[in-house]
Amino acid sequence: MLTQNASIMRLHLVIVCLVKSSILALNNLEFNPKLAKFALDFAAGAYGDYPVQCHTKRNSTLIFRYGRRCDAFHNECWAIIGLTDEWITVAFRGTQTKVQLIAELLESMTEPKHKIRAGGSVQHYFYVALDSIWAPINKITRKLKYLFPNRKILFTGHSLGGALASLASTVFADHHPKLLKDLYLITFGEPRVGNFEYAQAHDRLVPNSWRIVHRYDLVAHIPLCGAIYPRSCSPLFNHAPYHHGIEIWYQSNMTDTDLFRLCTGNPLNEDDSCSNAWYIHYNVNDHLTYYEHQVSKYGENGCVDPSDKSLTQGYESFEID
């Protein structure tokens, strides 16, 4: 029986690897660190009560800011839309409190995944969180794209914000298939959002998609995947959490001179030779810092590092009651 189960698992990994070539053909694989740092300021700004300064830094106009309670513990989820000469940016705030983190973990372990129209199933917490704020965000994003058809749409976020950005980009692309070439996703420390079928759907619908992982970031590896011997992640017949593409792994401190790795090895999107290989070193500290910025504090300070922060004055947030 054990031999039969092992054979089935190996067969499933072979299937995963076989679809790799067709998925990667959709992705342009042209990761741009400059664009990633641009996205980080919006992802960080989503943490702040006064995100205008982060937008101003990037010559962006803050168009809309919206938040709602999104779980049973009354934690809030937020999204911010900005507009530059080239981009419509949609940034989601990451986890704010320990209670919210516990809620995410508990629901991932106890609640069944939620099926989505685009394909596959996603973690219950992520689905409910996005659903709580999606209607106005979706409406305004569509309106801006109609008014500015030549501007591309960038979804971004850190931590929980990355998961919500992933799901939002997939849902948006599924409803607007003619816009696929204009949709981008860049996330930082994104947890596993859904199962293998969801990962396939995302890779098909959002070709310009990059998950940036800082060294031994723990959050990028939860919920735990369905690992088989020795440690390779397996879809487990769509029952296990599984990442979409494409992982960009920084092995050091993410300075301007640090090299990164484009992780396109096997298994598809869970490359054994990238961050998955360093499980004994996973930690929270690497999750908090990206491109030498402590993301949440950097955003709360108006995209100025706390060591040389300047006061943020005169800014008002845009909220809907």
pLDDT at 221: 96
pLDDT reported for residue 313: 41
Residue bearing tokens 């099926």 = 115
Catalytic hit among 217, 243, 244, 286:
217
3-state helix, strand, coil in the chain (%, to 5): 40, 20, 35
Catalytic annotation on 232? no
Cα-based distances in Å from 48 to 100, 278, 315? 17, 32, 11
Return the C-alpha torsion angle 135, 158, 27, 126, nearest 10. Answer: -50
**Residues in the chain where the model's pLDDT stays below 70:** 1-29, 229-230, 308-321
Q: Which residues of 38-53 are buried (b: 16+ CB within 10 A; e: fewer)?
A: bbbbbbbbbbbebbbb
DSSP string, 29-78: ----HHHHHHHHHHHHHTT-S-THHHHHHTT-EEEEEEEEE-STT--EEE
Question: Which residue in 259, 83, 74, 44 sits closest to 162, CA to CA?
Answer: 44
Among the listed residues 55, 214, 287, 293, the single catalytic one is 287
What is the model's pLDDT at position 186? Answer: 98
Nearest to 126 by CA among 171, 184, 80: 171
Question: Is 243 an active-site residue?
Answer: no
Spatial contact of 130 and 114, defined as CB atoms under 8 Å apart: no
Task: Quote the pLDDT of residue 20.
Answer: 45
pLDDT of residue 83: 98
- Convert the pLDDT of each residue in 3-19 to its tens digit: 444 444 454 444 444 44
Q: How far apart are CA 171 and CA 191, in angstroms?
A: 18
pLDDT of residue 320: 35
- Determine whether 217 is an active site residue: yes
pLDDT at 227: 82
Write down all domains in the chain, each with its CATH number in brackets: 30-308 (3.40.50.1820)
Annotated active-site residue in 60, 108, 121, 159: 159
Q: What is the pLDDT of residue 5?
A: 46
